[in-house]
Amino acid sequence: MNIPMTFTTSSFRGALSRRGVLAGAALAATMAMTGLAHAQATIDQPAPAFSATTADGKTVTLDSYKGKTVVLEWTNHDCPFVRKHYGSGNIPALQKEAMAQGVVWLQVISSAPGQQGHVDGATATRLNKDRGAVPTQVLLDPSGQLGKAYGAQTSPHLFIVNPQGVLVYKGGIDSIATAKADDIAKADPYVKTALGELAAGKKITHASTKPYGCSIKYGS
């Protein structure tokens, strides 16, 4: 239905002269779209699907893990709250326990380039080796796209997706929001409990808890 196509060049130029205006409008529209669908991950709803690049350069999708429980753990190795749980061995132990049960554990690094916690794939792998961490994969998300899709706010921030692809847990690693390793033993271990309940086919007691830690260093 395109008039420019009939009146050939001259009217085509006419269309071009409007492009400034149109481009502006399109820009506004696209800007509006950036506000769109910041659909945060919602409990009992399908978890936002994704396709992400791993530390070893592969591409994985959430879909490909259908049939398995998936843990997403946002991390930043320099954040004191993350150090609390890695230095104490709490998260690595949880990872091992989860892996033994066939759970897929995905570490996600959403720090933007130049920000704290931003690492390349090799560094991410080495860091995990040094810390005795054994995630199934490390997902590199320097654009923050994955983080924003899930509404990840802190490091650590944890999400659990059940084998049917439904989000069943989001929140903190445990209940005491401090950076002191001493508090781990006193805390209610939300993620550990949730994984246990999920494996036992029970309803998860605390499906949505307060995440705590450093803010995720998204690019602005």
Partner 1 sequence: MNFLRSAVASLVASTTTHASNVIALGMLASLASLMSTANAAPPTDRSATDEVEVRLISASSQVAPGQTLLLALEQRIAPHWHTYWKNPGDSGQPTSIEWTLPKSATAGDILWPAPKRFDVGPITNYGYEDKVLLLTEVRLPQDLAPGSTATVNADATWLVCREECIPQQATLSLSLPVGTAAKDSTDASALSMARAALPRKASFPAAARIEGRDLLVTWPVSAVPEVKQALFMPQDWGRIQHAAKPQLDRAGEDWRLRVPVGDEPATAGKPMNGLLLLDGKAWEVSLPVTGVATAPTPTTASQNTTPAIPGLSGSPSLASSGSGEADISLWTAMGLALVGGLILNLMPCVFPVLAIKALGFLHGNASDHRRQGLAYTAGVLAAFAALGAVLLALRGAGDSVGWGFQFHSPLFVLLLAWLMFVLGLSLAGQLQIGAGFAGVGEGLASKPGLTGSFFTGVLATVVATPCTAPFMGAAMAYALAQPAVELMAVFLALGLGLALPYLALAWWPALQRRMPRPGVWMDVLKQALAFPMFAAAIWLVWVIAQQAGPMGVLVALAGMGLLALAAWIRSVSRNASSRWQWTGAGAAIASLAAVAALLPTLSAISGTDSPGATTSSGVARNAGVDHEPYSPERLAQLRAQGKPVFVNLTASWCITCLVNERVALSTDEVREAFEKQGVTYLKGDWTRQDPRITDLLKQHDRSGVPLYLFYPAGTGGAAQVLPQLLTPGIVTTALKAGPS
Calculate the dihedral angle through the C-alpha atoms of 162, 166, 170, 175, rounding to the nearest 10 degrees: -40
When asked if residue 22 is in the footprint of partner 1 (CB under 8 A), the reply is: yes
Q: Are strands 137-140 and 104-109 parallel, antiparallel or unpaired?
A: parallel
* CA geometry: angle 168, 171, 176, nearest 5 deg: 135
Which one, of 159, 217, 173, lies nearest residue 81 by Cα?
A: 173
When asked if residue 153 is in the footprint of partner 1 (CB under 8 A), the reply is: yes
Q: Of 33-41, 99-107, 128-136, 197-205, which segment contacts partner 1 by CB under 8 A?
A: 33-41
- Site map (CB under 8 A) of partner 1, residues 103-132, x = contact: ----------x-xx---xx-----------
User: For partner 1, which residue of 72, 108, 146, 204 counts as binding (CB under 8 A)?
Assistant: 146
When asked if residue 28 is in the footprint of partner 1 (CB under 8 A), the reply is: yes
Q: Are strands 51-54 and 154-155 parallel, antiparallel or unpaired?
A: unpaired
- Minimum CB separation from partner 1 for residue 100, in Å? 30
Q: Which two tokens stand for residue 23?
A: 């481009």
Calculate the dihedral angle through the C-alpha atoms of 92, 97, 99, 101, rounding to the nearest 10 degrees: -170
In the complex with partner 1, the residue whose CB is nearer, 46 or 132, is 46
Q: What is the DSSP string of 136-186?
A: SEEEE-TT-HHHHHHT--EESEEEEE-TTSBEEEEE-SSS--SS-GGGGTT
> Residue 121: which residues within 8 A CB-CB, separation 6 or more?
54, 55, 56, 57, 138, 140
User: For partner 1, which residue of 159, 169, 190, 212 counts as binding (CB under 8 A)?
Assistant: 212
Q: Which two tokens stand for residue 186?
A: 């006193």
When asked if residue 37 is in the footprint of partner 1 (CB under 8 A), the reply is: yes
In the complex with partner 1, the residue whose CB is nearer, 25 or 199, is 25
Residues 157-196 that bind partner 1 (CB under 8 A): 170-171, 177-180
Q: Of 9-17, 65-73, 95-103, 195-203, which segment contacts partner 1 by CB under 8 A?
A: 9-17
When asked if residue 34 is in the footprint of partner 1 (CB under 8 A), the reply is: yes
- How many residues lie near partner 1 (CB under 8 A)? 80
When asked if residue 201 is in the footprint of partner 1 (CB under 8 A), the reply is: no
Amino acid at 114: G
Residues 53-72 that bind partner 1 (CB under 8 A): 53, 57-59
When asked if residue 17 is in the footprint of partner 1 (CB under 8 A), the reply is: no
User: For partner 1, which residue of 70, 79, 106, 138 counts as binding (CB under 8 A)?
Assistant: 79
